[in-house]
Amino acid sequence: MKRKFKHMVIPVLLVLATLLIVGCNTENEGIFMRISESVEKVDVGSINLIANETGKIYSYASKAGLQAYDPATKNWESIPGAGVRHYTFDGTNIVYATEATFPDNNTLYTYDINTKVHTTWVIEHAVKAMSPKFNLILVRDDTNEFSVYSATGPAIGASLANFTSEFVDDFPPNLVAFDDSTFLVSGNSPGDTTKYSHYYVSEGAPMTSTTDATFYDNPLVAVGTDGTNIVAIDATGKVWQAATTDLTAFTSTTSITGFPERNPKNLPYPVFYHDSSLYLQNGDNDFYAVNVTSGAVSEVTLDFADTFSNIKIKSYLVDPLDSNKIYVGTMENGIYEITMPAGTATDI
């Protein structure tokens, strides 16, 4: 028995020593630190926020579809609507489109959040994209033209931008919105499908750079403006800045450290805007602020950056009645609220 015990002592001591070394490794956080900072998961999956109305937060959850969340009771209420593919909000209704193989037409519906009534649209559309938080829809019509509309439920309004030959039908563009009337459309160029064309707000002159040809190498995935200046971020994390009065003079200021690769790479990147800066989380869960006026990038040291160090973010929603309140939809940990300018964050 003594002999057996002696042989067991060495591996036990080795395990304990390893745990102590790893546990004290603050550079890599250590297993004990990771356990202490674990965050409760929420069953609905990743959360793409749509609207905050009537005391509820509306969203699309990857495992549960359209949802209405009540922060007071912490209850999730399912909104019927099978096969939802695209969604947006027109101020009263959630407008959503069912699955379809682009460029086939999608069936569209309007869901009144007050009456809880679904209305089917008479006319179907080939929907390429909707902006979840802003009332914008990108569709392709029968003549291969791409157009941006706002929804008036149950129909689309006047065209905000119409693109007749600026993009390639086989590689359709995507819609990146800043608000209900400020957006860009970015997609493969007709002359060279390895390059990208970018248009801001209208189908007029394209966004260009006279000094840096790499402006056309990747799709733009985020945009922000203070009315006088504009910044755009491309799919590699490169930051581009210009004056809104001269969209031909985009220059690259810097790149965001740790910007993740995504597939497809033209998906809009989650950001929120506050006090002249775009805020975003990189692939390492670190936060950066992009100043819209200068294009300068700085690491965020506010408290919410620590709160989300172990939490990946799917979407943001700035409260329409209070720009200092930002709701955060996470990949698997529910909904949080950031309070600016203090920069605190709590789960709700």
pLDDT tens-digit map of 305-334: 999 999 999 999 999 999 999 999 999 999
CATH number for domain 82-165, candidates 3.30.2170, 2.40.10, 1.10.1420, 2.40.160: 2.40.10
pLDDT of residue 343: 97
Strand partners for 240: 232, 252
Work out whether the CA dihedral 209, 212, 218, 221 comes out positive or negative: negative
CA distance 348 to 346: 6
CB atoms within 10 A of CB 312: 15
Torsion sign across C-alpha atoms 202, 204, 205, 206:
positive
> What does the pLDDT look like over 203-243, one tens digit per residue?
778 999 999 999 999 999 999 999 999 999 999 999 999 99
Helix (H, G, I), strand (E, B) or coil at 314: strand
Instruction: List, in order, residues 6 or more apart from 41 with CB less than 8 Å away.
Output: 332, 333
Residue type, 336: Y
Q: Which candidate, 73, 64, 66, places its Cα nearest to that of 51?
A: 66
- What is residue 10's predicted lDDT score, i.e. its pLDDT? 44
Average of pLDDT values for 61-72? 96
For residue 260, give the amino acid letter.
P
Residue 38 confidence class, pLDDT cut points 50, 70, 90: low
Predicted confidence at residue 8, as pLDDT, reads 44
CB atoms within 10 A of CB 223: 27
Region 282-308: mean pLDDT is 97
Q: What is the pLDDT of residues 69-127, one digit of tens each?
A: 999 999 999 998 878 999 999 999 999 999 998 888 999 999 999 999 999 998 899 99
Say how far apart CA 72 and CA 49 lie, in whole Å.
17
Q: Do residues 105 and 122 touch, judged by C-beta distance below 8 A? A: no
Domain map (residue ranges) of the chain: 82-165
**DSSP codes of every residue in 229-258:** EEEEEETTSEEEEEETT-TTB-EEEEE-TT
